[in-house]
Amino acid sequence: MIKEENYLKNLAELCLSKSKSFGSTDSNVVVSNTVSESVNIRNKKLDGSERSENLSVKLTTFIGKKKASISSSNLKEKNLEDLVKRCVEATKITPDDELNSLPDKDLYFVGDKNLNLYDDTHIENEQKINFIREAENAAFSNEKIVNTNGSGFSETKSNFVLANSSGFSNGYKTSNFTAYCEVVSKSNGSMERDYEFSSRRFFNDLMKPEEMGKNASELAIKKLNPKKIKSEKISIIFDKRVSKNILSTFANCISASVIAKGTTFLKDKLNEKIFNDKINIVDKGDIKKGIGSRYFDSEGVEVKELNLVKDGILKDYLIDTYYGKKINKKSNGRSSGTTNLYFKNGEKTLDEILNSSKKVLYINETIGRGANIITGDYSVGASGVMVENGEFTNPVSEITIAGNFNDIFKNLVLADDLEFNFSTNSPTMLIEGMTVGGI
């Protein structure tokens, strides 16, 4: 059982009062408790089981413009007193930084907590095991599935309280249920792997195990007997599981920290068109049951919906308090990063995307992190399927795809098949004229 709010709040208040008594002018504390249980299955047999519990405190103290932080998992009162004292003493010997401060009081979250982020359902280990076995049984119903690469189920429950010397004190519970099934296919000497994955706040919203296993099986079988292709410039379609990575890279390029340091190719691009005018990007923290939903960020600042890109124009950054001051902007509640980040749906159907050219390459997996956010260069290993006249033909592997995000963003076309399966989501994506390196 996770600790209740009153228990966490009492520990937070103790840290704040001790901090003040030792000489801090301001302080911020997070007390959190997380309980996680997981099982791993391989070939329908248990391959590991684990339970972990973390109860911790992270304290930040200020003396004027000096700042220091310390954390511990020993929450006995005597240890907490020593912890607070050490943090204050460390603060005294750190250099002044004029940007160090708590957020402005008018930015704190004060609303209702009604996003349904916690499911108190508990899944016993035997239920977890049976769930994944059922998924693997569905996958093995096809004779071309010969092995599993490891499948699993995890349940995580968390509760926390964030409090500071400005009077903010709040917290909430979250839950997460995650299941995945990864299988290996074989035919004519060719072996391939693929997976299906589902993660939800509420257990009953998870993908059903039979569907999970069937999907993993079909995806792995479609990869069998891949061909190599020659290097060429070709239009590429990114599967939704891959296209969301393009969006994650975009988010990395617009955090206040990299904007302030100038280490992003999107510096000085605010209110300029960086995508074509059909592209809109939203970060929305108040989606009910959303995987990335939250009420406030790690500083207590309210999370409001951001229209980051509107009609292709960059309209906002992801801003925290410290780096916000460096770029002369107030925090917009993104010290914890994005929440539920997504491209809005495009205007084309998936069929229209597939038929956009006589020959396009459909990418369903990329390998490596080949994005350089300073230059905008992009290069990754990949595999996929060739599409000719709108029909999937042969699998393709051992290729490299490359381009530059300045061009990728402007040549990007989105389908209308957006789904909210992750905290970052994208419809199927078409990018015209990318370079493919093959044989």
Q: For residue 368, is pLDDT > 90? A: no
pLDDT-derived band at 404, boundaries 50, 70, 90 = very high
pLDDT at site 235: 93
CATH class of domain segment(s) 5-222 = alpha beta
pLDDT tens digits along 235-293: 999 999 999 999 999 999 999 999 999 999 999 999 999 999 999 999 999 999 999 99
Rounded distance between C-alpha atoms, residue 83 and residue 71, angstroms: 8
Q: What's the mean pLDDT when you consider all of the chain? A: 96
Beta bridge partners, 274, equal none
Length of the chain equals 439
Rounded distance between C-alpha atoms, residue 135 and residue 256, angstroms: 42
Angle between helices 209-222 and 125-140 (to 10 degrees): 40
**Strand ranges, E, within 188-325:** 190-200, 232-238, 281-283, 306-310, 313-314
pLDDT-derived band at 142, boundaries 50, 70, 90 = very high
Beta bridge partners, 429, equal 238, 414
Cβ(43)–Cβ(149) under 8 Å?
no
pLDDT at site 408: 95
pLDDT tens digits along 153-207: 999 999 999 999 999 999 999 999 999 999 999 998 899 999 999 999 999 999 9
Q: Produce one character per residue of 26-39: b if its CB has 16 or more CB atoms within 10 Å, e if not.
A: bbbbbbbbbbebbb
- The dihedrals phi and psi of 426, each to the nearest 5 degrees, come to -145, 145
In angstroms, what is the C-alpha Rg of the chain?
A: 24
pLDDT at site 33: 98
The DSSP H or E segment spanning 176 is strand 169-187
- CA–CA distance from 398 to each of 195, 241, 243, 277 (Å)? 19, 19, 19, 34
Q: For residue 149, is pLDDT > 90? A: no
Rounded distance between C-alpha atoms, residue 5 and residue 32, angstroms: 10
Q: Produce one character per residue of 252-276: b if its CB has 16 or more CB atoms within 10 Å, e if not.
A: bbbbbbbbbeeebbbbebbeeebbe
pLDDT at site 226: 94
Domain with CATH 3.30.2290.10 in the chain: 5-222
pLDDT-derived band at 316, boundaries 50, 70, 90 = very high
pLDDT at site 231: 93
Rounded distance between C-alpha atoms, residue 365 and residue 414, angstroms: 18
CA 187 from centroid of its chain's CA atoms: 35
Rounded to two decimals, the pTM is 0.95
Beta bridge partners, 156, equal 36, 176
- CA–CA distance from 278 to each of 326, 356, 397 (Å)? 32, 17, 31
DSSP 87-149: HHHHHHTSPP-TT--PPPGGGB--S---S---------HHHHHHHHHHHHHHHHTSTTEEEES
Tokens of 247: 């969006």
Helices (H), 306-416: 321-326, 350-354, 405-410
* In the chain, % of residues over pLDDT 70: 100
Q: Decide: helix, strand or coil at residue 339.
A: coil
